[in-house]
A and B are shown apart, each in its own frame.
Chain A
């Protein structure tokens, strides 16, 4: 009981403290404090199976643990990066920024534990609202435009998700079930749910939360938002917030699965997953803005996640592992892209080259992150993508597997040419040189993340393996 609340209330309390603290110099240090203690709380919660509160509305199950672990690791690493970054941008007020980051951390624990459809919705909506001011950190017209699109498109998605939740609730009412909106009750009584309402509900929910994940064709906010957001915000959005929305999709998939309507959901997920990969690939070829490129990479990997769930079987485990791999690798890429952006004051390949010379460590990590995210061994994403591919082949979905491979190749080539332009060559003469150089605080955090990605590629610790397996079985018995 206490732990379930502590996971949520600790960051929220600290957010209030961050908002009240007058010193802009000391405020950023609340972030590592918040992230560190939360990581410790999560570590304490992981082995336990009795973390619950509010009479079952909040429960920490295997799926929630996977998400919590990802968000907390990412947040802690980003929090270590934040003080140095905010010192560089001392002219900007960081009060709202720090408070909103901590609010996001708090709501992510509600999302991870929510077993009530209404609570889940409220938590995701709150995390969306808390992240909007983060995008507007730069306070210029471009970030204003990005924030406006993010808010509007995100709000529509969230509203559709609420409509879908209502449909699902009504499918229970129509099936003559009680008024419970708890996931356990719905899964237990799933065969009695009205199929027509359940189908309609899943469509709205998938479109709604899919908008939040940034699946094509609802992804249009993503390049703008990630392109304008500071690197560490990009990391938390691409790794954490999208993961929250993915968890919501998984909860509803779980209900569809229990109701015997999984085939319907799977087809939709495979189609949207492949579409996301193809659309992302198309926009990554000849992409000149390397931060927007990362946004499209995120669209692609969200596609891989839902594709994995759609394929099912062993791919279920692969998708969950990929959730971790993608989140951590995105952290490496966004943080390094932020460093390169600072060093060159531009995010266009027409103006940036020779990152390996100007900021050698960030450039090298950016390059390594590119190899990792495109599924090159020995990094983690290689293992998870291979798992999904093998499941698709074994499951007689050869066409899906073939399309998957083609899309991965296109992405590799498109992304590769942009990344190489950034890191190779000489810094352009004629562009003003900035005095930004690699320091331990700006390079250490992405290095830690890359080490984790590498570890997941060669060795998955047995407790993590067991956790992922438990989560996969909860989604699809026998997977």
Chain B
């Protein structure tokens, strides 16, 4: 694992806070795109030697998480003509605070897990958990379907970061499968978003409240 890994992880962590603090959907989407690009760079940095496998996978990651999926979200945003997240379940400042507390907790928890000699001192585990938490917060506390999908994307990014510890152990095929599944998942979500937009003329999932226990 090279020295470039930790600075890149700091970028990822800062992007997490940007995502939690903003109400503009465009900022959320471009934040997730930048994070996706950072992950591609991380993948190259995490490998001790650069093979065509790595380059291919990194390029795939950047194209998928940095360009393709954000592009789909941008289009959905334009079609639905919405720009802002309004009235989230948890406000933007409290979300930031929660994100800060969560990152602290992730740092503490990561210290309880023993690391292999080649990984000691690295930020990977705490950055991964903190990103998973950020995604989870976005997914559960925002009302717009687009932000929720972006939240899921961030959550997946967090899982991806954890995978950096396993670059030697993970077969190429599995990583490829995971990426492909992510694409299909977002694609299916995109279709559903489209239908929500048509049915309700809005992407506010707060309107999805017909199914409840009485």
Contact = CB atoms under 8 A, between A and B. Distances in A.
A54 to B, nearest CB: 9
Contact of B210 (A139, A142, A166): A142
A207 to B, nearest CB: 12
Contacts of B113: 196-197, 200
B17 interface: no
Contacts of B169: 169-170, 172-173, 179, 181
Contacts of B162: 163, 166-167, 170
Interface SS of chain B: helix, strand, loop or mixed?
helix
Interface string A142-166: 1011111101100110011011001
B211 A122 contact: no
Interface stretch (B81-89, B95-103, B195-203): B195-203
A170 B166 contact: yes
Interface stretch (B8-16, B24-32, B42-50, B172-180): B172-180
Interface string A85-109: 0000000000000000000000000
Contacts, number: 127
Interface residues of B, number: 45
A227 B211 contact: yes
Interface string A250-281: 00000000000000000000000000000000
A316 B168 CA distance: 36
Interface residues on A, range: 35 or more
Contacts of A227: 211
Given A122-B178, A196-B114, A159 B171 contact: no
Contacts of A121: 174, 178
A149 B139 CA distance: 11
Nearest to B189: A151
Contacts of A428: none
Contact of B159 (A119, A146, A163, A292): A163
Interface of A: 116, 118-119, 121-122, 125-126, 129, 132-133, 136, 139, 141-142, 144-149, 151-152, 155-156, 159-160, 162-163, 166-167, 169-170, 172-174, 179, 181, 194, 196-197, 200, 223-224, 227-228, 283, 288, 292
**What are the 10 closest A-B residue pairs judged by CB atoms, nearest first?**
A118-B174, A179-B169, A122-B177, A145-B208, A224-B211, A166-B162, A125-B181, A163-B159, A174-B116, A162-B159
23 contacts: A118-B170, A119-B177, A125-B181, A136-B192, A141-B210, A144-B196, A144-B199, A145-B208, A145-B209, A149-B208, A151-B188, A156-B136, A162-B159, A169-B166, A170-B116, A173-B116, A173-B168, A173-B169, A181-B170, A196-B112, A196-B113, A200-B113, A283-B213
